[in-house]
Structure 1
Amino acid sequence: MARGDLADPETLARLRTARAVIFDCDGVLVDSERLFVDTELEHLAAAGLAIEREDYLARFVGLADVDLFPAMDEAVRAATGQALGRAAFDTMTARKVARLERELEAVEDAVETAKALGLPIAVASNSGRTTLRKKLEWTGLAPLFGEYVFSVDDVENAKPAPDLYLHAARALGVPPHDCVVIEDSAQGVRAAVAAGAMAVGFTGGGHADRGLCDRLTAAGALACASRHKDLPNLLRGDAS
C-alpha cells in the first residue's frame, strides 16, 4: 500500500491531521486514464510520433485539454515537422468520449473508500464540468460527492496551478494545509503542493507503470497507495 520507506512516523503524523480529502477524478476515482492513454498513443503514432509509454505518461497525463493540444502539437512538430492539427485532436477527443461511455468503470474500492473515510470529501478535476459529472454518474460516484464536484471550468487556471485545490478547500470550509489530496499525476501533485495541501500519490489506476510512485513523490507526494482500501488506514496513521 503506502511505500514503506516513505510512510515514516513524521509523514504518518502529518496525514493524521487531515480534516478533509480531495480526490482527483481520472485515474483515481474512475479508470479513465487507461482509456485515454491507449487512444492518445494510437493517434500520436498515426501522426508520426513514436513515444515510449513511460515518457508519454510523464509528459502528458494530468494535463487539461486546453494544455494537452498544444503540448501534443509541439511534440508532433518536433518529431515530424508537421502539425498535429486541431481536427485530428478533436477526432481523438471524440473517440475517447465514446470509449468512456462504453467502457468506463470506477477504480476498485473507490466507492467503498469514499464512504469509509469519515471525513468531508470533494472532487477536483482538470476535466470540464459536463464531462466530469457524466463520469461520476456513469460509475455511481456522483451521490457520494453531492455539490462538492469542481472542474477546470470553476477556476481561472488548470492544474498544475493550485486554483482547483484552493477552490475545493474553500468550498469545504477546511484550510488547504488540513486537506489531503489523492492524485495520480505529477501535474496534480504539484497543484496540491502549491495549494499547501498534503498530497498522496495513487498508483492503482490501469495506466500506472512501475515508475509512477517515483514521479509522484518527486513532485511532492508524501506517500503512495496502490489500493483505495488502504487509504483509510494511511490517513489514520497506520502504514501496515
Structure 2
Amino acid sequence: MPLPLLLFDCDGTLVDSEPLLAEEMATALNAVGLPFEPRDYMGEFRGARFRNIVAELQARFGPVDSEALARAERTMRETLATRLTQELTTLPGARDALDTLRHFPSAVVSNGPESKIQAALKATRLTGYFGKRFFSGYTANCWKPEPCLHLHAASIMGYSADECIAIDDALVGVRAALKAGMTVIHLNRFPERETTPAGAIEIRSMRQVADVIEQLACEHEGAAMPAYSFGK
C-alpha cells in the first residue's frame, strides 16, 4: 500500500521557536495593556492562533484599541522574524527523524503565517525536506483546533484523512488531527502538565518519531491503530 502522508507541525515539533514567540507575544500584548507573560503562552495558549489569544485576554481584561493592537502585532511579527533568523534551532532529534523518513511523503501544517513557516524552515535549513509543501492557517483561512487545516493539506496533497499521520506537540494540533480522522502522534514535551488525548500515540522526544512511524507503516498499513503510548 502507498506510504502514509506525514503532516508535521512546525513550532515546538520541528523547531524550538515557542520560547521566542512567547517572549515577543508578551512584549506586544503588554504594550497594548493586556497582561501576559511568556509562561502564559507556554502553559495555556501554546499552539493557539494569535487572534484567539487576544480575544480570550480581552474577555478577561477588557477591550483594547484595535489600531494599537494591529501595530503591536506587526512589530511582534517583524521582531520575531529577525530573531528566528538569528536564534532558531531545531528540536533535538528532528533533523535525524526527517533524514530517516525522507522516503515518506510529507508536509508542514501550521497555524502560523506562511512567512513565519518559511523563515523557520530556512533558518534551520529544513527547507530541503519540504520545499513548498507547507500549509498555513492564514492561507487556508482555518486554524487548529478545527480539523479543516489538516483536511485542506491532505486534500491538496492528494490523500484522504485515513492515509495521513499527523505529528504535533500542541494539544490544539493533536485534537485537530484527531477530529480530522487521522493517525496522530503527540510529541508530549510537557507530560507533567499535559495529558495525551485518547486515540493519539504519545512520544516524549522527536528521537522516537521515526521508529513509531516506520512501525505504523509496517504493521497497520494505513489502518486505524489502537491508542497506546511510546512515551513511557
Name the CA distance, whole Å, in 1 between partners of 2:115 and 2:80. 15
Q: Counterpart of 1:12?
A: none
Give yes or no for contact 1:114–1:144 (8 Å, CA) kept in 2: yes
Give yes or no for contact 1:202–1:226 (8 Å, CA) kept in 2: yes
Name the CA distance, whole Å, in 1 between partners of 2:83 and 2:60. 24
1:222 to 169, 191, 200: 200
- Describe the superposition over 1:80-113 as per-residue Cα deviations: whole angstroms up to 9, x where unpaired: xx63750444444443333222211111221221
Taking structure 1 as reference, are residues 193 and 93 closer, same or farther at Cα in structure 2, changes over 3 Å only?
A: same
- Describe the superposition over 1:51-88 as per-residue Cα deviations: whole angstroms up to 9, x where unpaired: 693x54353221223433323333442xxxx6375044
TM-score by length of 1: 0.75
Name the CA distance, whole Å, in 2 between partners of 1:73 and 1:49. 10
Map 1:175-214 onto structure 2 (within 5 A): 175-204=160-189, 208=190, 210-212=192-194, 214=195
Structure possessing the higher relative contact order (Cα contacts under 8 Å, 6 or more residues apart): 1
Name the CA distance, whole Å, in 1 between partners of 2:87 and 2:20. 8
Number of residue pairs matched by the alignment: 212
1:100 to 65, 81, 84: 84
TM-score by length of 2: 0.77
Displacement after TM superposition at 1:44 (Å): 4.9
Letter in 2 for 1:162: P
SS in structure 2 opposite 1:236? helix
- Decide which moves more: 167-176 or 68-77: 68-77
SS in structure 2 opposite 1:150? strand
| Percent identity over paired residues | 28
Runs of 4+ residues over 4 Å off in structure 1 = 42-46
Displacement after TM superposition at 1:50 (Å): 6.0
- Describe the superposition over 1:182-225 as per-residue Cα deviations: whole angstroms up to 9, x where unpaired: 11112111211121112211134xxx47313x1xx23x551222
Taking only aligned residues, the RMSD between alpha carbons, in angstroms, comes to 2.8
Taking structure 1 as reference, are residues 97 and 146 closer, same or farther at Cα in structure 2, changes over 3 Å only?
A: closer
SS in structure 2 opposite 1:211? coil
Letter in 1 for 2:79: R
Structure 2's unaligned 5+ residue stretches are 217-229
Does residue 64 of structure 2 align to residue 83 of structure 1? Answer: yes
Name the CA distance, whole Å, in 2 between partners of 1:75 and 1:40. 17
Displacement after TM superposition at 1:181 (Å): 0.7
Name the CA distance, whole Å, in 2 between partners of 1:99 and 1:32. 9
Name the CA distance, whole Å, in 2 between partners of 1:52 and 1:157. 25
Name the CA distance, whole Å, in 2 between partners of 1:69 and 1:101. 26
Structure 1's unaligned 5+ residue stretches are 1-16
Name the CA distance, whole Å, in 1 between partners of 2:125 and 2:86. 15
Name the CA distance, whole Å, in 2 between partners of 1:236 and 1:178. 14
Give yes or no for contact 1:124–1:165 (8 Å, CA) kept in 2: yes
Q: Counterpart of 1:6?
A: none
1:112 to 96, 99, 122: 96
2:139 to 142, 147, 154: 154
Name the CA distance, whole Å, in 1 between partners of 2:56 and 2:80. 18
